[in-house]
Amino acid sequence: MPDLSFPIRVGIVGAGAIARTSHLPALLARGDAVKVVAVCDLDPGRAKELADAYDIPGRYTESTDVVARENPDLIAVATPPVAHREAVITALGAGAWGWCEKPPTLSLAEYDEITAYEKDGGPTVGHGIHQMDLLLNLLGDWHEVHAVAATLGRRTETEDVSFAIVRFACGAIGSSVNSVMSPRETSCLRFDFTDATAEAEHLYGHDNSHWRWTPAPHVSDTGRIAGWAPDENTTQLAFHPARHAAGRHGSR
């Protein structure tokens, strides 16, 4: 892995929607700490368009050329999943970090190929990651996981349903269900505390308005219950780079 020296030189592989609306704005928000040196896409027009928009010097159609000519510290892989394995291996093989979009690979066999190149750290995981990220953010590190994965309805090499029971280091216990087979798509989080149940239900993005809570019968202090409303974190929302770039989700 590269030594940590600044600016971190980044090559973006895949110049589509997620690169444009999330990766680039997030990287550029790091200011002088990060320099995006190249954009790579199978479609040279897309690479050029994104590179022109952000005045990025390198434009390529092959990730191998990015690592050969630009000496990047990090390759951000934002291609469709079918191309993740190759781009991540190209990055790791050249001694760069690989930062991969989800899902990391199409199969466990591909994932094993990637880990064979890994020395430290690894790609991010797949479906349901956003809810799991939020769980970890709220409850802290996990300690123990029991999981079952199955392919029940899709002709894929990966699972289309997974269940996990997670014990967190803080002592909390959670269950996680991920399914790409649910006709009514939704993301639900539910936390049962001694004094209240707190829940959020949303699809592809949540804010404070999605949360609701139910006090336990023994909790009758209305002032305390009113204080459970999530703070309007307007500062964070106002400066969220992906929000600005995408111009979506509205403002609260």
Contact residues toward ligand NAD (CB under 6 A) are: 13-19, 40-43, 46, 63, 78-81, 83, 101-102
DSSP secondary structure code for residue 132 in this structure = H
Q: Are 213 and 197 in contact (CB under 8 A)?
A: yes
Nearer to ligand NAD, 73 or 79 (CB): 79
Nearer to ligand NAD, 148 or 188 (CB): 188
Tokens for 50, please give them.
């994104």
Report, in Å, the least distance between residue 139 CB and ligand NAD: 21
Report, in Å, the least distance between residue 102 CB and ligand NAD: 6
Nearer to ligand NAD, 14 or 58 (CB): 14
Bridge partners (DSSP) of residue 202 are: 187
Which position's Cβ is nearest ligand NAD?
Answer: 16
Distance between CA atoms of residues 204 and 186, nearest Å: 8
Q: Are 237 and 21 in contact (CB under 8 A)?
A: no
Pairing outcome for strands 196-202 and 187-192: antiparallel
Report, in Å, the least distance between residue 41 CB and ligand NAD: 4
Distance between CA atoms of residues 214 and 34, nearest Å: 44
Report, in Å, the least distance between residue 79 CB and ligand NAD: 4
Nearer to ligand NAD, 24 or 161 (CB): 24
Distance between CA atoms of residues 146 and 149, nearest Å: 10
Q: What are phi and psi of 177, to 5 degrees?
A: -125, 125
Nearer to ligand NAD, 35 or 102 (CB): 102
Report, in Å, the least distance between residue 86 CB and ligand NAD: 6
